[in-house]
Amino acid sequence: MTRFGTLRLAALLGAGVLLTPLGTAAAQDDASPRPARDRLTWDPGSLASVYQPAPGFYSYAPSVVRDGDTEWIWSCHNDESRVIEDHIYLTTRVDGVVTQTRSVLHASPAPAWDSFHTCDPSVVAGRFHYGGVRYSYAMFYLGNDVDASAHNQVGVAFATDPAGPWVKYPEPIVTSDRVDQWGAGQPTAVSLAGDSGRVLLAYTRGDTSTRAYASVVDLTQAERLRVSPPVLLPADGLVGADGAPDYLNGFDLALDRTGRDVVVVREQHPYPIDNPWWIGPSVQVARISLRDLLAGAGRWQPLGEIDHALTGFTRNHNAGLARTWHGRLADPSGVEVVFTSSCSSLPTIDDPDWSQATCDSLYSYDLWSITGRWTGSAS
């Protein structure tokens, strides 16, 4: 996977590190009864606009941290009007009011591996040492070096403050050699063992097929970066918008309050045939045990969908979960999803006559949120 050393995932699991991912706090949570949570019941009244970029700009694929009354939202965003060159922006909100939005991570000078797009952020707290400095935050992100959806790879940057500045690690930690394939990206990460440097990193790989993987990354000393062999994540139990078995990509994950289960929000398929046909109509929330996820086994339990019937938007895509700094669900009584909306119109993928278009789809991407509450009996 990388040219660096590896860390055996099975050894970590056997040592119990991953079963109580946040140390003492996790052990305390494990002793308490699980909340009733067979499914989520969405509250339509909670649907709210989070961030609407100015005309000619887009925002999608948010990484969301809720800390008291403050929300920290990193997203994929262009920096010049109607120029498709991705930066990572930070938008902060206090009591629901946007207080700032600005670029915090952008492409490196050529010929760096991330010299064109930087996108798909996932921010997590921990204790990371790099270049003689102790950092408190890591941002995993997608980068590439071509003006296309190709040769994507996953890198990481560090900061002492969530507002930045962010210091990039110079090489990708999940690589992709083929420049004619989508590659590896859409990272999502949660902290393991509290303020350690160990992180569970999951991501999408797209080449001859689309699938998801996870590894444990030890960034305690980044110069001696260790990455466990990747585990292929299960897709059993996931269903598409058409009710058929589905695959896993375009997802964000969080640990639940107990630390024993993983909750995911992910794009549903099949994709539509009208503009934009490259994003999903809906997202699904599901859960699986952390033990099963790390073993690449088990079955996802679908919990609920965010779709046109719920939101009124014809596209609901590229979503993130509201989390704590270490990657747990921010609200133990439910799930808040921050998703991207889009308009839709002709043309179709089979008849791409753009003169028919009435929807400037990319520049309609903005961020919305909705909350679901646990219902049912604990399993």
pLDDT (tens digit per residue) in 254-307: 999 888 999 999 999 999 999 999 999 999 999 999 999 999 999 999 999 999
Q: In the chain, what's the furthest Cα-to-Cα distance?
A: 61
Domain assignment of residue 51, given as a range: 9-375
Dihedral (Cα; 282, 339, 116, 201), 10-degree rounding: -90
* Residue 372 pLDDT exceeds 60: yes
What type of residue is 20? T
Over residues 5-27, the pLDDT tens digits come to 333 444 444 433 443 333 323 33
Residue 286: per-residue pLDDT: 97
Q: Confirm whether 339 is domain-assigned.
A: yes
Q: Confirm whether 1 is domain-assigned.
A: no
Q: Confirm whether 143 is domain-assigned.
A: yes
Can you tell me the mean pLDDT for 30-46? 68
Can you tell me the mean pLDDT for 366-372? 98
Residue 244 CB contacts under 8 Å (≥ 6 apart), including other chains: none
Q: Confirm whether 62 is domain-assigned.
A: yes
- Nearest partner of 135 among 151, 156, 109, 119, judged by Cα: 156
What is the rounded CA–CA span in Å between residue 155 and residue 169? Answer: 7
Indicate yes or no: pTM above 0.85.
yes
Q: Confirm whether 2 is domain-assigned.
A: no
Residue 194: per-residue pLDDT: 74
Q: Confirm whether 3 is domain-assigned.
A: no
Can you tell me the mean pLDDT for 132-153? 97
What is the rounded CA–CA span in Å between residue 9 and residue 264? Answer: 21
Over residues 76-86, the pLDDT tens digits come to 999 999 999 99
Over residues 160-186, the pLDDT tens digits come to 999 999 999 999 999 999 999 999 999
Q: Confirm whether 227 is domain-assigned.
A: yes
Which CATH number do you get for residue 248?
Answer: 2.115.10.20
Residue 257: per-residue pLDDT: 84
What rounded mean pLDDT belongs to the chain? 90
Can you tell me the mean pLDDT for 76-104? 98
Tally of domains within the chain: 1
Q: Confirm whether 14 is domain-assigned.
A: yes
Minimum mean pLDDT among 27-41, 44-58, 321-335: which range? 27-41
